[in-house]
């Protein structure tokens, strides 16, 4: 009997064990958030198609270098969070705080560069009320910046928590926080080309 069941089903080790990192509720929130942003992307493209000249002229007033550097910062930060999680999974918890600290540094630098960019706009007399393009620019980048601020707070908590992490501890909280931070990176990956590069 036991021999029959062993031959009729594949060995357990050959089955792929599927696992959603972190808490399922975080993923539900993330997808809801991503849908909201996707609707804004579509709305931006539609309004752009109604006033191409204005949107193109306004786009040229954006600082491409700061936007590009910010993209590289968030990508690097995301990669560092992956390394921190790997350190926790591979029972090397002493490395995790270092990676979280570096990731947090990238996140904070993003905020500083964004503040410089906003300041440049205000100095040039550009505000959310200037035109439709800048309304989208300030609303979408402002909403994203809010996510970055929350993400930095989460990274700071994970950094603090990881200082006392031991091999074998649960990593669900770390996975949830990391997933949120990756979403922040993901949204900027879409937002940056839309505002700065579509011509």
Element (H, E) at 100: helix 96-123
Tell me whether residue 5 or residue 105 sits nearer to other proteins (CB atom): 105
Total residues contacting other proteins by CB under 8 A comes to: 42
| x/- map, 158-177, other proteins, by CB under 8 A | -----------------x--
Q: Shortest gap between Cβ of 192 and other proteins (angstroms)? A: 8
Tell me whether residue 52 or residue 150 sits nearer to other proteins (CB atom): 52
The window from 101-109, 120-128, 144-152, 178-186 that contacts other proteins (CB under 8 A) reads 178-186
Tell me whether residue 60 or residue 119 sits nearer to other proteins (CB atom): 60
136 by Cβ neighbours in 10 Å (0-12 / 13-18 / 19+) ranks as buried
- Residue 158's Cβ-side half-sphere holds a number of Cα atoms within 13 Å equal to 34
Site for other proteins in 68-97 (CB under 8 A): 68, 71-72, 75, 78-79, 81-82
Q: Shortest gap between Cβ of 81 and other proteins (angstroms)? A: 8
Is residue 34 involved in binding other proteins (CB under 8 A)?
yes
Cα–Cα distances (Å) from 91 to 39, 84, 171, in that order, read 41, 11, 11
Per the CB < 8 A criterion, the answer to whether 104 and 155 are in contact is: yes
Is residue 190 involved in binding other proteins (CB under 8 A)?
yes
Cα–Cα distances (Å) from 97 to 55, 115, 166, 196, in that order, read 43, 27, 12, 34
Cα–Cα distances (Å) from 153 to 4, 108, 139, in that order, read 55, 10, 21
Dihedral-angle region of residue 168 (phi above 0 means left; psi in -120 to 50 means alpha; beta otherwise): left
Tell me whether residue 31 or residue 160 sits nearer to other proteins (CB atom): 31
Per the CB < 8 A criterion, the answer to whether 171 and 88 are in contact is: yes
Q: Which residues contribute to the site for other proteins (CB under 8 A)?
A: 16-21, 27, 31, 34-35, 38, 41-42, 45-46, 48-49, 64, 67-68, 71-72, 75, 78-79, 81-82, 175, 179, 182-183, 185-186, 189-190, 192-194, 196-199
């Amino acid at each position: 009997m036991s021999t029959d069941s062993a031959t009729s089903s594949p060995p357990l080790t050959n089955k792929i064990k599927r696992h959603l990192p972190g808490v399922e509720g975080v993923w539900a929130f993330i997808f809801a958030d991503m849908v909201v942003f996707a609707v804004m992307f579509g709305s931006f493209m539609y309004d752009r198609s109604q006033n191409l000249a204005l949107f193109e002229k306004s786009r040229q007033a954006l600082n491409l270098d700061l936007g590009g550097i910010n993209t590289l910062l968030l990508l690097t930060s995301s990669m560092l969070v992956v390394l921190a999680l790997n350190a926790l999974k591979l029972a090397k918890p002493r490395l995790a705080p270092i990676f979280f600290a570096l990731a947090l540094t990238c996140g904070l630098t993003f905020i500083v560069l964004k503040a410089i960019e906003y300041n440049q706009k205000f100095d040039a007399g550009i505000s959310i009320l200037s035109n439709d393009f800048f309304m989208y620019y300030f609303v979408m980048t402002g909403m994203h910046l809010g996510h970055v601020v929350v993400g930095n707070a989460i990274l700071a908590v994970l950094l603090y928590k990881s200082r006392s992490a031991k091999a074998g501890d649960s990593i669900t909280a770390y996975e949830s926080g990391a997933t949120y931070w990756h979403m922040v990176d993901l949204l900027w990956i879409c937002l940056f080309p839309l505002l700065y590069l579509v011509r």
